[in-house]
Structure 1
């Protein structure tokens, strides 16, 4: 159930983000949602009396925060403001499991079975098929490059967070990471436009959703999934996000769904199922047999 809730919340960030960036500068959205998130997460961590990160752990979390918050959301939301469809942004960004798996395997941090490699490969093929439809065509090279920058931030941040052996509390970690993104955005946002949030229903409602669901609940759920399942397996949930985003974009944003989109989403679903299968452990039977013999 946590995985399903995470997919729905993460998908909503692209759709609501498109609504928000339609009426205000994208980095303004990021700046103020990070301010809200740091205050809220810090208060929660204090009430729960969680241990706070120190020393190398503090700096490690700050670096991850720059990648996962400033780089990812700054790039993706700028792409949305440049006219990139929400479904396309989600498609590209959520191909990050391939980068996470490839980098983790290359560095010797994680081993993947052929079945999971096939699943990840199918997921990427499904993304490419969907992008070949009219719903996925980038409006400009700049929009595509901003999306790829956001993809790089998400993939690298996920990979490094999976390797982190933190002793601090999860909410305290989220506070530090978001604060690091806030510091970058405080320098970046004033250079890109006005910092005022328009007094319109669309601006206020979309910002409120992004501040609570997008900046607090969804990232904490992702970090929890990474700790429980590992970076690669947790990130494969992102393969389901584009499908949900495309379906939601149709009635909310008026983005049409073509036949290739449906085919691509089916391929993604099969890839997700394969990539998330638990690996069989050949030694389990031997271990159980040893325990039985010792008991006798």
Structure 2
């Protein structure tokens, strides 16, 4: 059941990449919606605790019954990935926002994740990007800046909080390339995601308990936010992302995330009536061109 690199090329349906990339962009950008619903009712630590706990508990029966028997070494390795890709990544941004780093700046840095992955993929994986792919990466980054420009600000947070946002992005990028580099330690996606979520829940639970009560707010908005974050923000986003990492080059997979900022703004317009701007559409066009150059072929 453990996945290893195939010895012969595997033919895939030509629609597999665009379909999976579309699912990734929609689910990855949807996290904003769940946070928007739930964050008015609870602290970020409590929100992340219940998000990861519910995700892990729902997956736990399937992780125990479906798939290979879990060995202690595999569990420990997956827990390490959980610390990196769930606790340090999500928790780092949450702490930075709590220290009053402007949300727009945090979002911009997190959306530059594909750039960090592209930089790390060469020395760690030996996956060299062509000149055209680097040009596409630069174009996509420019599009992200255009989309995010109106919401950018420096704020008054301490210097370490700004460094934390960059560090969180780099940690997740490192987890991504390591996940690709060590195929012999991979588990089926539902087992990996279960361990990652429960690891994050244990750590976020300690943070939430230190801040106060672990009891969830019994409100409609919090319930909607949790359902959204568990189904779309966790199962769909992380599940599709990890699956694509097993099928396609890591820099190509992460490049699709450049489209998250403009799609997030479409979510905001559709659900919260936030206005659409000319800059958003211009940035979307530039980003689409960059992602196309980076991923085609």
TM-score band, normalised by shorter chain: 0.7 to 0.9
Q: Which runs of 5+ in 2 are unaligned?
A: 1-18
Tell me how far apart the structure 1 counterparts of residues 155 and 108 of structure 2 sit (CA, whole Å). Answer: 15
Distance, in Å, in 2 between the alignment partners of 1:252 and 1:89 is 22
Which residue is 1:74 aligned to?
91
Residue 284 of structure 1: aligned partner: none
Q: Which residue of structure 2 lines up, in the alignment, with residue 273 of structure 1?
A: 292
Kept after mapping to 1: 8 A contact 2:25/2:256: yes
**CA deviation string 1:31-84 (max 9, x = no partner):** 1121111122221223323342542x4333222111111112223345566585
RMSD: 2.5
2:79 counterpart of 1:62: yes
Distance 2:259 2:105 in 1: 13
Q: Give the corresponding residue for 2:116.
A: 99
Structure 2 CA distance for aligned equivalents of residues 258 and 83 of structure 1 = 24
> Aligned equivalents of 1:19 and 1:88: distance in 2?
21
TM-score, with normalisation over the residues of structure 1?
Answer: 0.82
2:246 corresponds to: 227
Q: Is the 8 A contact 1:53 1:172 kept in 2?
A: no
- Distance change (3 Å), C-alpha of 1:101 and 1:131: same
Structure number with greater Rg is 1
**Aligned pair partner of 1:21 in 32, 36, 39:** 39
2:151 corresponds to 1:135: yes
Q: 1:152 aligns with which of 154, 170, 174?
A: 170
Q: In structure 2, do the counterparts of structure 1 residues 50 and 275 end up closer, same or farther at CA, with 3 Å as the change threshold?
A: same
Distance 1:93 1:238 in 2: 10
Q: How far apart in 2 are the matches of 1:95 and 1:131?
A: 11
Distance 1:243 1:167 in 2: 32
Which deviations, in whole Å up to 9, do the C-alpha atoms of 1:78-108 show, x marking residues without a partner?
55665855x7654431211111111122345
Separation in structure 2 between the aligned mates of residue 210 and residue 157 of structure 1, nearest angstrom: 21
The offset of 1:201, in angstroms, is 1.2
Name the SS for the 2:236 alignment partner: helix
Do the aligned partners of residues 271 and 31 (structure 1) sit closer, same or farther apart at CA in structure 2, a change above 3 Å counting?
A: same
Question: For the residues of structure 1 that align with 2:269 and 2:167, how far apart are their CA atoms?
Answer: 26
Which structure 2 residues correspond to residues 147-296 of structure 1 after superposition, within 5 A?
A: 147-165=165-183, 166-278=185-297
Q: Tell me by how many angstroms 1:260 deviates.
A: 2.7
- Cα 1:53–1:236, aligned 2, differ >3 Å: closer, same or farther? farther
CA distance in 2, matches of 1:116, 1:192: 45
Question: What's 1:292 paired with?
Answer: none
Q: How far, CA to CA, are the matches of 2:66 and 2:190 in structure 1? A: 9
Counterpart contact for 1:162–1:226, Cα < 8 Å: yes
CA distance change for structure 1 residues 65 and 79 in 2, over 3 Å: closer, same or farther?
same
The offset of 1:215, in angstroms, is 2.3
Describe the shift of the 1:207–1:228 C-alpha distance in structure 2 as closer, same or farther (beyond 3 A).
same
Which consecutive unaligned segments of at least 5 residues does structure 1 have?
Answer: 279-296
Distance 1:264 1:144 in 2: 24
Decide whether the 8 Å contact of 1:12 with 1:245 is kept in 2.
Answer: yes
Equivalent residues of 2:101, 2:162 under 8 A apart: no
